[in-house]
Amino acid sequence: MIRAIFSFVFVLSTFALAAQVPPISNVYVFDLKVESDSVFKFTKPRYLTDFNKNGYNNQPSFFSNDELYVSVKLPHEQQHDIYAFDLKRRTKLKVTSTTESEFSPVRMQDYYSFSVLRQEINGKDTLQRIWQFPVDRMMNGKPVFKYMDDIGYYEWINSQKVAVLRVGKPTELHIADTYTDNTKEISENIGRCLKSRRNGSLYYVQKSDEVEWKIMEYNVYSEKINEIIETVPGSEDFELLYDGTFLMAKGSRIYKFNPYKGDEDWLEIANLRYYEIENITRLALSNDNKIAIVAD
């Protein structure tokens, strides 16, 4: 039993668009209030995925302050589908229901479209491509890139350019142009977390070896790369607040670092063990500072 967390009782709606066993993961949402440089309060806890607590619920992404999209796999199903959670109305909507699996939902910058990473089976091969759909789901989607089919993770930089992690040994970070299909390699041996800011900065984790991981900044305009800080040991997922504060988690603890306010190292700001939340991996933020947390 999760203590002091309200489980949502959702009304389920469905809307259908035209293999390995994933780990069990769940999604929680808190309101985050920043009271000072060192005081962060996590309030109004909500447990979103009680309907699938033994399944896969991951890669949350806020489409608005009250809409959270998540990749979900129910234990009895083969594929991962995208669900939309309305936090205000306490409803959920099954957005995709295809034979393929969809991951990493993101609202695109035109506001009318969203993208996902789709795994497509082509004979003995598995293709991983970015697909684009209208938010109103009035028509089927289409691939963003026709030939780039080895994408593991991605992040929109603007309406034309997207950062992609291309799967391989080593992994490669590329900046891809949706108008021309051209790509430019930026780095190798990167982590899965990619975050961008409207000033052209792209943040990613550089994995020099098995233990030395650093958050890096690449500016798409100047093409300069700067080192920000070493990650919290063993963690590779991070989030960014509006003021440039980085958030990372390890176990049940959440840490912050702001290079613009004189921080020299990560500072612990929360321990969610009271809620029996452990092994936190991904984080996602809304514009009004709701925070979605993925944990075992």
pLDDT given at position 40: 97
pLDDT confidence of 6, banded at 50, 70, 90? low
The one-letter amino acid at 139: M
pLDDT tens digit string along 165-211?
999 999 999 999 999 999 999 999 999 999 999 899 999 999 988 88
pLDDT given at position 125: 86
Handedness of CA 254, 84, 57, 170 (dihedral sign): negative
Give 162's contacts (C-beta < 8 A, 6+ positions apart): 130, 144, 154, 155, 156, 175, 176, 178
Closest CA to 54 of 79, 72, 67: 72
Residue 83 and residue 86: Cα distance in Å, rounded?
10
